[in-house]
Amino acid sequence: MKNASLARFARFRIRRPNWHDHPSVRSADQLTLGERLADRREDQISSELARHDFETNLQAEQMIEQIRSLTIEIHATVVPAKANDR
């Protein structure tokens, strides 16, 4: 009886990962030359992307500020002229 009720809930059982099926994580001195180069390049690419993202955000903020100031200038020039026409 006990086994029958356990079998019914077997599909809800939390399965543990099969670590023995996956290659182990090795230290840097155990990696091959190609793996070390790939690791270093991955770090470089991540740094380059982060720098590019920062520079792009900075440029976008500067452009938005320029557009905002130009919009204020245009508004200040156009709105009083229309108000005086009334």
Residue 13 has what pLDDT? 63
Residue 35 has what pLDDT? 84
Q: Do residues 31 and 39 make contact, with C-beta atoms less than 8 angstroms apart? A: yes
Which residue's entry shows tokens 């006990």? 2
Residue 6 has what pLDDT? 59
- Please indicate, yes or no, if residue 79 is contained in any of the structural domains: yes
- Please indicate, yes or no, if residue 15 is contained in any of the structural domains: no
The tokens describing 6, both together, are 């356990």
Residues 6 or more apart in contact with residue 36 via CB below 8 angstroms: 28
Q: Do residues 72 and 64 make contact, with C-beta atoms less than 8 angstroms apart? A: no
- Please indicate, yes or no, if residue 57 is contained in any of the structural domains: yes
Residue 64 has what pLDDT? 98
What pTM, to 2 d.p., does this model score? Answer: 0.49
Residue 58 lies in domain: 31-86
Distances (CA, A) of 34 to 22, 30, 41, 58, 79: 20, 12, 10, 36, 66
Q: How many domains does the chain have?
A: 1
